[in-house]
A and B are shown apart, each in its own frame.
Chain A
Amino acid sequence: MSPEILLSLLAATIQAGTPILFATLGEILTEKGGTLNMGVEGMMLVGALAGFLVALHTGSPVLAFVAGGLAGMGMAAVHGIVCIAFLGNQVVSGLALTIFGTGLAGYFGTRYIGQTAPGFDKFSLPILGELPVLGPILFQQDALVYTSYLIPPLMWAFLRYTRWGLGIRAAGESPAATRAAGLNVLGFRWAALLGGGILAGCGGSYLSLAYTHLWTNGLTSGRGWIAVALVIFAFWKPGRAMLGAYLFGGVMAFQLRLQAMGTALPSSILLMLPYVLTIAALAFSSWRGHRTEAPAALGVNVEPSE
């Protein structure tokens, strides 16, 4: 494989990994607060459609991206009403959210299939873009990719060095202790859930605004599920989420290239690769005994205080 092909493959890896990174970070934030939201796939799809529609009608990619995030937040709010306000089952509500989101995006999106909308284009960052090897891979991307680089360190610092981060972690680890400390457990859970929804929506709108610039139904094709699995692979750490997202991005980009070049392998086998890797990654992290890294009260509903 020539260096040029390798560089372009790695650059494509970053691009393919970015939507997964947004969604994984969102789910990490949500789960740190103690809420399990399996509706990532649905939130991403609705975010993708909202972003696409706003871009189509306003022509502003930035506005479209914001709309994608807000749409994700709106979806997360549905989950919050079911689980935080009415103490519904988090797994069932999350699954329903995915089905709901898929249906919603399909219903409103079908007539736009094949249409294109303005989005984010790639540009080279000054100085950084000129770097050998790293420049073409990391710094000749679009604005959303650059944004995504900033989120993991910011989220890490937020969870570790701020009052709200401490409260969110406490609400996910021990709601009783958090409440005994005089904090509003449900408030922190809502904040984490809605913040996570924004990131999932952003991940979705990256697909329609930067990855493809056009609308097709089922645009996310399972990336939401990969994000849910990656949270476990990442041991709920934003830094490791980056590693995981790009690993999957790499496999996705690789199988696309391989299909394009034409191989003897059936394409369905190649399409399966990311999901096979998901199962392998989950088995690996469980085998290493890292399940205990999960927030202790993850998925456990909290009764509202008196």
Chain B
Amino acid sequence: MASVIGMSTPPVVSLRGITKAFGQVRANSDISLDIRPGRIKALLGENGAGKSTLMSILAGHYHPDSGEILVDGQACLFRSTRDALRAGIGMVYQHFMLVEDMSVTENVFLGQEPGFFLSPQAMGHQVRGLAKTYGLDIDPDARVADLSMGEKQRVEILKLLHRKSRILIFDEPTAVLTPQEGEQLFVALRSMAAQGKAIVYISHKLGEVMALADEIAILRRGQIVDEVPAQAVHSQADLASRMVGREVLLDVSREPGELRQNVLRMQGVWAGSLQDISVSLRQGEILAVVGVAGNGQKDLVETICGLQAPARGEISLLGKPWKIFFDNAPWQGGLSYIPEDRMGLAVCRGMDLVDNFLLTTRQGYSTPVWLQRSKATAVTQELVDQFKVSPPDVHCLARQLSGGNLQKLVLAREFHRRPRLIVAEQPTQGLDVSAIEEVWATLLDARQEAGILLVTGDLAEALALADRIAVMFGGRIVDTFSAQDRQRVDNIGLMMAGMHPDAGQ
């Protein structure tokens, strides 16, 4: 569906059939998008849906494998960010690109100096004028290092405005802001749009997108699955279900497992953003935790995995209280954590596969003094062969593995520990279809021996694997129900927006 409103103004930038793959993973496939002056276009999608890749292509960071970018109707080739900037396309990154030790004015003018000799006064005057025009409150002489995150963001915006950028891309801009700063940003964004700038707003926050956007494009697994004018969206629930999708990508055959002893019980737990969480999980079942990212999933995982202590409430793992369990966690037959951030949390980039294998299994491969390296090497080799990790060389480094093979290695290592409780966080994010299939099959196999808590932003994955589904919103679990309960499954979108269907919303 193409946007209906604003069709009269010709697009300032058009993306046509943009495709970009990293190795086996298609981050973007055949994406077309029109961006019009004076309008705010939201790009909505879960983490890993391909939003940032798409915008990095538009900003000149990546080259698309195929497809073209039209600026004012003419095809353009961006070799670098410099080319994109020259075409009037600028991006405000989540990680600010500022020189901390310089003044606001110097940052704004960097790369845009009017002449060889600089006049700080005249430049400061210009920055002040620009800030006033767009309602961005800032002191041009302040050192950037002394500014708040909101102020730094304003400097980034001023940089683009000073370059007379016509398209401003914002990548999750409110992630670093206080609510008040967020409000100020929205006012400024509307003012910029009113003055003819085209705004692209990347987010996964439904409320923000509804409040701000004129048009909403929804990305899922690298494709634009929907594009609608904001007025056509009736509720956040509507948007949420469009975003997470329903169709099951792959057919995985499964039988309900045999339910055995309880491996995880949380009773009234508060920790971080979590509020009054109660969950139980038995050996032989998969419980999927779904929700829009940032609604407490991270705190939930960290609390269960011992990275964050609960403030209140009771947790027991494998029948032991939280503290006692983690005081002496067994390396085998215990808890395995498969983190979302593989490179950062699951492995060490610069170590070989044997050393990475030993990261979580070393207790089983050590004498009082020495590590039993030859034994560990043999076992790693066995696992690499069994899980078909490629390349099958245990002495290559973790960073030489592709995302899918790295995930296979992590799974192999963790399943070697014969866990009875598994916490898997976005286990298939960024993987290609065949790797997803393998990971899913592995998880279903593991269900024989373990209880699995699957945290996912992909509803299709939850429906394919889970026996039960818990929906999170705002740090609470809205509801937990069987995956066979069609009526509740149909209402997941509503629940992800914080509404409980039984409460008469």
Residues of A near any B CB (own CB < 8 A): 160-164, 166-167, 169-170, 173-174, 176-183, 295-296, 305-306
Contact = CB atoms under 8 A, between A and B. Distances in A.
B368 interface: no
Interface residues of B, number: 27
Nearest to A293: B101
B80 A305 contact: yes
A180 B81 contact: yes
B106 A166 contact: yes
Contacts of B102: 166, 169-170, 173
Contacts of A166: 102, 106, 109-110, 113, 118
Interface string B157-183: 001000000000000000000000000
A180 B97 contact: yes
Contacts of A163: 113, 115-118
A174 B97 contact: yes
A162 B97 CA distance: 21
A163 to B, nearest CB: 4
Contacts of B99: 169-170, 173-174, 177-178
Contacts of A167: 110-111
Contact of A181 (B110, B118, B119): B110
Nearest to B109: A166
B112 A181 contact: yes
Contact of B117 (A161, A174, A177, A181): A161
Nearest to B111: A181
A162 B80 CA distance: 25
A161 B120 CA distance: 8
Contacts of A161: 117-120
16 contacts: A161-B120, A163-B117, A163-B118, A166-B113, A169-B101, A170-B110, A173-B100, A173-B101, A174-B97, A176-B97, A177-B107, A178-B110, A181-B97, A181-B110, A181-B111, A183-B110
Given A305-B80, A306-B80, 11 more contacts: A163-B116, A166-B113, A166-B118, A167-B111, A170-B99, A170-B110, A174-B97, A177-B107, A178-B111, A180-B93, A182-B81
B43 interface: no
B111 A182 contact: yes
A174 B98 contact: yes
Nearest to A170: B99
Which of B85, B99, B101, B119 is the most central at the interface, judged by chain A CB atoms within 10 Å of its CB? B99
Contacts of A183: 110-111
B20 to A, nearest CB: 14
A170 B144 CA distance: 13
A183 to B, nearest CB: 5
B122 to A, nearest CB: 12
Which of B110, B112, B117, B120 is the most central at the interface, judged by chain A CB atoms within 10 Å of its CB? B110
Contacts of A295: 101
A218 B107 CA distance: 45
Nearest to A177: B97
Nearest to B62: A306
A180 B156 CA distance: 11
Contacts of B112: 181
B128 interface: no
B82 interface: yes
B100 A174 contact: yes
Contacts of A177: 96-99, 107, 110
A160 B120 CA distance: 9
A182 B85 contact: yes
Nearest to A174: B99
Interface string B83-104: 0011000000100111111100
B157 to A, nearest CB: 14
Contacts of B85: 182
Across the A-B interface, the 4 shortest Cβ-Cβ residue pairs: A181-B111, A180-B97, A182-B82, A163-B113
B159 A181 contact: yes
A183 B109 CA distance: 12
A161 B100 CA distance: 18
Contacts of A182: 80-82, 85-86, 111
Contacts of A164: 116
B101 A296 contact: yes
Contacts of B107: 177
B242 to A, nearest CB: 33
A251 B350 CA distance: 49
Contacts of A170: 99, 102, 110
A180 B98 CA distance: 9
B428 to A, nearest CB: 29
Contacts of B81: 179-180, 182
Contacts of B117: 161-163
B394 to A, nearest CB: 29
B447 to A, nearest CB: 44
Contacts of A305: 80
Nearest to B112: A181
Contacts of A306: 80
B159 to A, nearest CB: 7
Nearest to A305: B80
B86 to A, nearest CB: 8
Nearest to A179: B81
A166 B111 CA distance: 9
